[in-house]
Amino acid sequence: MSDRLYLSKIVTASLRLRTEQRGGVAVMMGLLFPVLLAGLGLGFEISSWYLRSRAMQNAADAAVMAAASNGEDNFNVEAAAVAAHYGYVDGASNVSVAASNDAPCPEGADVTSSCYSVSISSIVPLYLSQLLGFAGDLKSNGVAQKLLTSAAVAVQTTIQQPLCLLTLSKSGTGLRTNGAPNSDFNGCTVMSNSKASCNGSDLKANYGLAADSNDGCGVKKKSNIKAVDDPYAKLAINIPADTCGTGENAYPQEPKKPHDPPLPATNTWSGTQSISGVKQMCGDVQLTGDVVITTPDSLIGAVIVIYNGQLDLNGKKLSTAAGSAVTIVFSGTSSNMNYVHAPTDNSTGQGGVFNIQAPSSPQALFPGIAIYQDPTMNNGVDITYKGNNPAWDITGGVYLPNSNVTMSGDVNKSSNGADCFVMIANTVLINGTSNIYQQSPYAAGCKTAGLTVPTATIPSRSQLIY
């Protein structure tokens, strides 16, 4: 009986065990826990990768914006510095930062030049993700690692800045000041196609620009600006052919010695000069009294071409009447060192005055130009402007492409013209007090005066495009 009872108890216990559910969850959790732990670990690890990639992207965006705004040769240094500020130091902690200024721009971007780019890469070790068989992107010393990368592309935008003073020389120092603490070019932007150096004054110019280095010129100083092409050289085609003839008497000159012949009467002016179209003068022209130039209108105006000669105000005043306009052109034979091809004042008393406005019509031969030196002339073209021998009261452009100008006086507006003065020269040295009359905004005044103002392209804000 005891054996049968014992067997019955065993059968009963077996049946009860078959229907018992307590402890089943623990068994299942024991089996699933490694998988759950690996899944959670992978989730945390992927989240860490995502957060780090976003931080790297923010750093790359900021770095490429800084590089594009910099726009100079050290753009990559600035990009690396900005990335380091975000905690990504190139060459440290498996971080690499690379910058370029000639990266291809994304397709569809409204950009004509190359773009700036910054890429940041970071290598991080693998942890629980390996439990699911992820082998990583690379190995170092047998350790699997994940490579994270972020990249950004930006372009440097530009603005066109109109110029009222441009020096064309592409060597040496094109624009210089010697002291000039009281010079005032407010409302004006100055540009040198080479170096600019202002000693003792920034000229109070809105911008000081230089294709090379800029040492002190302008309230806002910028170097390494793209050189500006000669804006008015093409107008030389409008200079008529020289019909003065040949020989030493073809171009009468002012007497330099007591027995030199005087200028012919045709070369001495006073009173009213009525000019229509082009008036050609051979040799020096000298004023013997105040002269008022009248033309049919102020749009087309008139042109005076002086071949192998100066225009000597001789202490007198040369002006354009109300409703009249003129361009004075100096041309001739560049090889003769004795000719002067420039406006002068050889008087010993009170200085003369240029008070002229340029023709304003685009149909004029020299639209917006008051004084024009033939760009083929290299000798006798330098000008020393003192502000009183003669004084310049000018509306329009003064084009002196091969002249080395020394400027020591003020330029004022003509009596009848708009607010517009632009000077183009080979080099300019500014001494003492030299002011260009306020032209704010001078581009608008020059539009009224018919002058196409030269412009410089200067960097502006950067724009993130990828």
Q: What is the mean pLDDT of residues 136-163?
A: 85
**What separation in angstroms does the CA of 219 have from each of 187, 200, 211?**
11, 13, 17
Mean pLDDT of the chain: 86
pLDDT for 451 equals 94
Per-residue pLDDT of 266-278, as tens digits, reads 999 999 999 999 9
In terms of pLDDT, which residue wins out, 199 or 395?
Answer: 395
pLDDT for 184 equals 80
pLDDT for 461 equals 76
Per-residue pLDDT of 4-29, as tens digits, reads 666 666 666 566 655 655 555 555 65
Q: What is the mean pLDDT of residues 176-196?
A: 86
Sorted by sequence, the CB contacts under 8 Å of residue 438 that are 6+ apart come out as 186, 187, 419
pLDDT for 33 equals 53
Residue 90 and residue 83 in contact, taking contact as beta carbons nearer than 8 Å:
yes
* Chain Cα centroid distance, residue 448: 24
Confidence label for 350 from pLDDT (cuts 50, 70 and 90): confident
Q: What is the mean pLDDT of residues 352-375?
A: 96
Per-residue pLDDT of 315-344, as tens digits, reads 999 999 999 999 999 999 877 778 999 999
Domain boundaries, the chain: 35-158, 160-460
The predicted model scores a pTM of 0.77
Confidence label for 186 from pLDDT (cuts 50, 70 and 90): confident
Residue 111 has pLDDT above 80, yes or no: no
Sorted by sequence, the CB contacts under 8 Å of residue 430 that are 6+ apart come out as 175, 176, 177, 178, 180, 183, 203, 407, 408
Q: What is the mean pLDDT of residues 165-170?
A: 96
pLDDT for 28 equals 60
Residue 357 has pLDDT above 70, yes or no: yes
Confidence label for 288 from pLDDT (cuts 50, 70 and 90): very high
> What tokens does 427 get?
């080099």
Sorted by sequence, the CB contacts under 8 Å of residue 327 that are 6+ apart come out as 301, 302, 303, 304, 358, 359, 364, 365, 366, 369, 370, 371, 372, 396
pLDDT for 3 equals 61
pLDDT for 195 equals 97
SS3 of 371-390: EEECCCCCCCCCEEECCCCC
Q: What is the mean pLDDT of residues 50-73?
A: 89
- Amino acid, single-letter form, for residue 421: F
Per-residue pLDDT of 191-237, as tens digits, reads 999 999 998 788 888 899 999 999 999 999 999 899 999 999 999 99
pLDDT for 460 equals 77
Residue 369 has pLDDT above 70, yes or no: yes
Residue 408 has pLDDT above 90, yes or no: no
Q: What is the mean pLDDT of residues 175-197?
A: 87
pLDDT for 27 equals 55
pLDDT for 156 equals 81
